[in-house]
Structure formats: C-alpha cells, structure tokens
Amino acid sequence: MKKAILLSSLISLLVFTGCFGGGDNAGQTADLKNFKTYNASTFSISVPNSWEIIEAKDFSKEIPIETQVIFRNNIKSDVFTENANVTKKILKTGMSSVDFAKSEILENQKSLVNYKEISRDTEFNVLIGGKMNKSMLIMFEGKESAQDPLIRLIQVYAVNGVDAYTATAAYRSDADGVTTENAKNIVKSFKVN
C-alpha cells in the first residue's frame, strides 16, 4: 500500500505513454513568455501555453488520488508524451522539504527499473507561503518496467505544515535540449501558497 502511494507522481506521468541552478532564484526561469500559469488554491505552476490541463474531475480511475493536476503536451507520441503533474500527500507529522525530498528520492530508487540520478541541486529554494525555503531539485531517469521506454524526470518538493507536494515533469531520455529546458522551467516555477 505504501509503495503504491509513493509511486503516485510517477504513475500519473507514466499513464500518458504514447546541472540545475536554483539557490535564491527559485521560480525565476530563463524564458517563460510561452508559458501559462496554473493557479490552484494551494499552489501555482507554469506550463507551456500549448499544453493541455487535466484536472482531478477529469481523471480516469487509474490516476492516484494524490494527484492534484496533470499537464500534457498537445504533440502526442506513440512512445511517450511529455507531461507534468503535482501530487499532494498528507504527512502524519510535519517535516522539512529537504527530508521529504530525501524520502521520495529513496522511493524512486526502489521503484524504478534502471534508476539513474543525473543531477541534484541541494541548494534549490522553493517559495512556500511567501517565503523562500530550502528544498531539493533532482533530475533522474528510469523505467516503470523493463519493457517501457527510458524516461527522464525532474522533481522538486515542498512541505507546508503536513501538506507535502511533489512537482514532476517527465519526458523521453533522448529528447532535445528545448524539451529539457521546458521541463526544468515547469518544475522551477512551482510555488506553494
């Protein structure tokens, strides 16, 4: 049961198959002129203008309940379509965003086939409740199963009280540099109200 819950952000991303710089600049990305901002009651995140937004009311039964919203590139692929999501877990007790990040990274390592960490920014800050808070930004790759394509993921983590959020962007590992930059910009734009 615990493993199923911890895989929610990855599953949400994989259902739609077909070095970082952070510091005090969290939320400020190189070029967001072709991005739109999605505002939920507890968070905001920016995604490319052309991407579709899939809200919880439109989810299929396969999407884990922890998933708050999914974004998907309108240019579909038979192998894997770029996408992003935000998940929210309720913690039993509060913890720092860094400690939450460490626990999620361990679960990713256990659950993905061919897991490989690409980079980790341990000095990344995320805006939570109007204040910058230390978090972690990580890029890694892996497969849900041996038959699946190799997917690259970028995640950032934010804890506000007992609400623990993960913002994830996913794309094929052989994607071009523009795709990678878009994924970084999505995740770096994540803010918790």
Q: Which one, of 106, 97, 67, lies nearest residue 83 by Cα? A: 67
Q: Which residue has the tokens 């070095």?
A: 19
For 142-170, what is each residue's pLDDT tens digit? 999 999 999 999 999 999 999 999 999 99
- Domain around 93: 2-192
CB atoms inside a 10 Å sphere around CB 150? 15
Residue-wise pLDDT for 74-126, tens only, equals 988 888 999 999 999 999 998 999 999 999 999 999 999 999 999 999 999 99
Rounded distance, CA 168 to CA 8, Å? 11
The H or E element spanning position 188 is helix 177-188
- Where is 26: in which H helix or E strand? none
With contact defined as beta carbons under 8 Å apart, do 105 and 119 qualify?
no
* CATH number of the domain to which 179 belongs: 3.40.1000.10
Give the total number of structural domains in the chain. Answer: 1
Model confidence band, residue 31 (pLDDT cutoffs 50, 70, 90): low
What's the pTM?
A: 0.85
